[in-house]
Amino acid sequence: MPGPSTIFILGKSYGTSFHAEKWLSLDVCGLMGATCSWGVHIYALIVVAAKLLSNSWIAIVIYVAFYVPAALLAMASLFKAWTTDPGAVPLGARPLTIVRRASSSSVGSNGNSESDASPSLTSRRAMRRCHKCNNNYKPPRAHHDSVTGRCIVKFDHFCPWVGNAVGALNHKFFCLFLFYTAITCLFSILLLILRAFHCGYTIEPDEGKEAFEGGEGRARALGSSSIYKFPECNSFYSSHLVIGLIICSLVFLVFTLTMGCEQIEAVQTGKSKIARMKMRVGNAGTEFRAVTEDFNEIFGGESPEVSLHWFLPLDVKFPRGMKKVVLGYEWDPSFDPEPFEPSESGSLGDHEMIQLEQGQISTDPTRPANDVLLTRESEVSLTDASVHSDASASSGIKNRKSPPNSRPSLD
C-alpha cells in the first residue's frame, strides 16, 4: 500500500508525511478521482449553459440563481476536502488528561459522581502507539490510513472522489461536497426536463412555411408531418453532450444520495464509520463516543443546532480549548519531532489498552485536579487545565522543549 509522500512547490513541502509543511494527498488514484469530480462539474456547467438555456427565461434564472452557486460551493468543498489535513496525528503528539463522562443520575448533590465512592477502581494511564507511524502516540479515536500513511483522528474512510482521507477536520467538507453535488444534479435534471418541454412544441409544415422562407429553415422536420418550433431544438435529442449530461446527472445523484444517507448517522452521533462498525460488533467501549454534546463535532461551532456555517466550506472552528479534546492529543511546534515518551508508571501495555477500549479497565476515582468530569446538567467549562496533559508534570517527558515564556497553543 502507498505511504506518505512529499513534493516541493515554490520552496514549500506538500504531502502527507510528518515533515510536510502543507497537507496534500498525492495518491494517484485519489488525484484521478478528484480530477474526475472537478471535470464532471465543469463539464455540466458548460453543457447546461450551451444547450439548455436559450429562449427560456425560467431556465436562465434557475441556472444563474441556483445551479451556478451550488456548483461553485460543491467545487469549493471538494477543494477543501482534498487539501485539508483530515486530523493526522503529528509526530511528538502526547496524551491529554483523561476526560470522563457522567450522566446526570451519577452525579450527587455535592457535585461528585457516584463512582467516586467506589474503592475498587484503579488509576491507569493509557499510552497506545502506532507501529506504522514510527511508534508515535495513537489517540483513542484514531485509526491508521494506509493510503496517506498516517493515523487519522475519527478516520471514516479514504474517498477517491475527493482524493483524501476523511477525518475529524475535513468530514464537514466531504458532507458539503455530497450535499451540493446532489443539488447540482437535481437542478441539472430539472433543466433537462424544462428543455424537453421547450422542445416539445411543433408546427405543421404549412404553418411554418413562412418561417422557412424567413431564414429559420434550420428547423428539422419531425418525420414528414411536423417541425420543431424552436431551431435550438434541432440537435437537443441527438447531442452527445446532452446524453453525457443526463448520464452524469443520474449516476452522481444516486452516488451522492447513497453516500449522504450513510453520513446522516455520523453527523447525528459524531462517530466515524469505523467507530460505528466496531461498536456494533461489541469491539469497543465508550472511547468512540462524542466528547461533548455542546456542539457538533463534524461542523463545529458553539451549538449542536444547525447554523449557517454548516453550509459554508469554511474551516471547522471549535469552542476555546475543545479542539485538543476532540483530537485527543496535545501538540505544538515546541515539541521535539520524535515519539512521546512518558514515565514508565504512566503507560499501559497493548493488552491493557485493548481492555481499556472495551471498557474492562476503569480510571481512578481520585481524579487529579486537572481531570475533567462532563455532566449533562452541571456544565463544566474546559479551561486551559482541561486540555493540558497531566503527564507534563512528570519527570519522564523527553520530547518537549522549554523555551522561556512559551506555552502550548490553545487552538
The phi, psi pair for 98, rounded to 5°, reads -60, 125
For the stretch 90-121, pLDDT in tens is 999 999 865 444 444 444 444 444 444 333 33
CA dist., res. 352 & res. 341, Å (int): 18
pLDDT of residue 291: 80
Spatial strand order in the sheet of 202-203: 202-203, 226-228, 221-222
> Are residues 152 and 223 in contact, defined by beta-carbon separation less than 8 angstroms?
no
pLDDT digits (tens, 9 = 90+) for 358-373: 545 444 433 443 344 3
d(CA 329, CA 338): 15
Lowest mean pLDDT among 29-43, 164-178, 251-265, 387-401: 387-401
Average pLDDT over every residue of 42-63: 94
The model's confidence at residue 199, banded by pLDDT at 50, 70 and 90, is confident
| The most confident of 251-255, 358-362, 376-380, by mean pLDDT | 251-255
More reliable by pLDDT, 131 or 230? 131
Where does residue 232 fall: left (phi above 0), alpha (psi -120 to 50 degrees), or beta otherwise?
Answer: alpha
Point out the least confidently predicted range of 186-190, 379-383, 403-407. Answer: 379-383
Q: Per mean pLDDT, which range of 88-97, 154-163, 299-308, 335-344 is the poorest? A: 335-344
Rounded average pLDDT over 365-383: 38
CA-wise closest residue to 148 among 324, 28, 34? 28
Dist CA 40 CA 105 (whole Å): 53
What percentage of residues in the chain have a pLDDT greater than 70?
A: 65
Position with higher pLDDT, 259 vs 109: 259
> Are 258 and 185 within 8 A, CB to CB?
no
Query: Across the chain, what does the average pLDDT equal?
Result: 76
**pLDDT for the residue 343:** 62
Q: Is the CB of residue 133 less than 8 Å from the CB of residue 89?
A: yes
391 against 356, higher pLDDT:
356
State pLDDT tens for residues 286-298. 566 778 888 999 9
Stretch 193-211: mean pLDDT:
68
pLDDT of residue 106: 40
